[in-house]
Structure 1
Amino acid sequence: MKEETGSTPDRGLRCQAMKVAFADGGLNSVQRPRLVIPTGSTVARAAGCDHFGMSHSILISAPFVAVIPAGAQLATIADNDPEGWVIALKPGILGQVSQEAFDAVPKWSRSWDPFLREAADTLAALHHADLIDAACDDAFADVISVHIALRYGHCAGAAEPVMPLTRQMLTRIRAFVHEHIAETILVEQLAVLVHMGASNFARAFKTATGTAPHRYVTLERVKFARTMLCEETIPLIDVGARAGFQTQQHFTEVFHRYSGVTPRAFRLAHRNAGG
């Protein structure tokens, strides 16, 4: 692991390319929350203690981002040329409201945020074209601070009114789930399809369908698995994987919970009914 060392002035260094931050050590010494946005194959590790003295350690890699608290140490894993961004967040950008919001921003956790990924891509393009300076870096840091405070702070719900999901929106969501059924599907991914925040989307989806998004995805996985189980040529272990279950044990437990029988028993029952 390659550690950040040293110190740098605050001005113009609140938004740094990861390879620059790791070269001169600028942002490990900044006593503010930091946003970590790895890109490419870079994996970052953040470690430290919370206010209760409990130790935390998380790994961050694309497409996820993470907010880490002041004092946390940041490093990359087996990467001498890290890609991505480290941004020192400015809690005072919205005054007292923002400071209170940042106190409520989840630390030591990863999130999937399309806006922040797009911001990272824009920063990379500007730097590559040599069209950005310290003041512009600071402006990006300020905008990102506002976004995080409003979306993840305690006042996030008030910033985005709840709106109903239309039939077209639900069709878009169903199509995405079916297309990506073998992959990990996050609520944040579904929310961005209809331009909503995750919490408001979850409420709107449950209102429209009577089912929480996570449960809906699980039920679709089980339905897809039932269809495959009717095909005798597909091994059970492949059925679970193709339906998006991480392990065979998890597949068996979830399938039994929603179907009343194990996958093997379901296949035998279908075989006997057909015979």
Structure 2
Amino acid sequence: MVQAIESAARAAGYRLTVTNLATSAADDVRASIDHLMRQSIEGLIAVAPQTRVLPILDELKLPVPVQIVASTGTATSHNDQTAGARAAVRHLIELGHTRILHIAGPRDWVEADHRMRGYLAEMDAGDLSPRPPVLGDWTAQFGFEAGVELLRTEDATAVFAGNDYMALGFMHAVRAIGRSVPEDISVVGFDDVPESAHLWPPLTTVRQDFLGIGTRAFADLLVALGESVEADARTEPDHLRLIVRSSTAPPRR
């Protein structure tokens, strides 16, 4: 996403300064923005996936245009994470799975909340009882540790992981206890990171248009700066798409 923003900025004759936050604590957010403002920036794009960052940005009342962007989209474009999650769970239900677990992202992350809502909504639509989602941290290590624990206590036949890395860790856990994907349990991820197609088995996942989101974010900022922007630069990012690979299959009878 950031790479797309930088490419669009260069093409429009702007230079991008990037500041990464160690944490989303209020003091860190304020310090980073103060650092940027001392460089006389003309506009700010905040890749802010955590809900607690938004009121901090609002209270600062910055004297430059601000564009807030996350995987869910921007203020003027939309990337329906809930619909993407529902498509993932619907795929599992259509294969015949009824006992589906969800390993979610961290609390307070916008994407994690939307994907969890999608899981719950689609389970409800299928008249199925959802299992309590497990809150993770997006890492493969958490997916592995959660998988080892869940596979000892749960009788689920499928897992919808909140991102591909947790799905990767979970698949490792399945193999570590002598079971297999998808023969014993199906796994779906989210994001379609480049490595997903090369896991074994290749991972079924929901593809996001990160480049489209980043390009649209910078185009919206240019509009806020009063510059003209070609219409195709402000097109909606591609809709989330379910990419079906070999990590999902009907459950064993």
Task: Flag the structure with more relative contact order, 1 or 2, with Cα contacts below 8 A and sequence separation at least 6.
Answer: 2
With the length of structure 1 as denominator, give the TM-score of the two structures.
0.23
Task: Tell me which structure has the larger Cα radius of gyration.
Answer: 1
Higher helix share: 1
TM-score (structure 2 length as normaliser): 0.24
